[in-house]
Structure 1
Amino acid sequence: MSAIHIADTGLFVAMGQPSNRRYQVVRTFARRNDMTFVLPERVYDELTVNAPDVETPPVDTAIDEGWARVAAPLGYTNALVSRTMDGVQRYIANADDRPADEIERADPALAGVAAQAFVDETADHAYIYTTDTLAGEGAENVFASEGYGDSAFSRWSFRPQGANGVSE
């Protein structure tokens, strides 16, 4: 089996346009390591909103180049997918002291894509690339409670760089 690499909106926002060095470094890394970043549909939707100053969204360029793709629709009827998404949503809501229905839907979808890959047996390890610490922690906690633990799940968080190259 293999790993699935799941990307949140923040990864592509931090990379910027294909002409940016950060974008080029991530593209080169993905190609050299034969990686494909998988985006939940909700993340893709966030990245492709109509921006009048962008002719082709950077995520579409990555998809065209073959190092990113949009995940298949999630199987919400699958118990693991449903429990995972609900659990991450509750984790974020509790940690942030907000009602669960105010939690951004893309955050639980990150873990949902991992759960779907585990159910479909297309991956035995998942990496989630996100700027949202609570989404990553929530996924780790939920997967640990589902018996996947650290051996089957990892999280990589990063902070987007400001215009001056310093983490925000």
Structure 2
Amino acid sequence: MNPAEQAPQQDGNALGAAAAPSHGAPQLPPQMFTTAAQLLDLTDKKLMLVLRDGRKLLGVLRSWDQFANLVLTETKERYYVDVPGSQPLRKLFCDIPRGTYLVRGENVLLLGEVDLDKDDESPPGYEEGNIEEVFAIQKRLENERKKNDKTKSRKAGEFWGGELEGSGEILF
């Protein structure tokens, strides 16, 4: 074999080695890992969840699955209310114990880890209120909001000439 015939083989081998596909699937950096497996680091930690319907839950994440369905223990539902008619404006919160809670993954809007060093403090700008008082204010405000939403929906339907498509209850 003459040297001219060997040169292309050597160049081909050199390029082939450099451009050869690596073995196995390419690895993504950890910050790109966006599946439910990210919950692994949050297992057995205290979390606060905001659900699509506006509820806020505090609890310890015990288990989860590939759909991000969550099992929380020692769960508390937290309510925040502004006391209407109070001068200066009073802001109250309360935690209602709910026990073990199963949350369907598609209902989670936001979740975050609770800083245990600040967990015993009241949220900034809020004072802890009586559960019955805060719950009653919350229900009254929710009923007023639903009534206003119905009125707005009816007026919009009259303006646009009929019922609006998907004019069910507003989530927030």
Query: Which has more helix, going by share of residues?
Result: 1
Fold in common (TM above 0.5):
no
TM-score band, normalised by the shorter chain?
under 0.3
Instruction: Select the structure with the greater relative contact order (CA < 8 A; seq sep ≥ 6).
Output: 1
Query: Which of the pair is proportionally richer in strand?
Result: 2
Relative to the length of structure 1, the TM-score reads 0.24
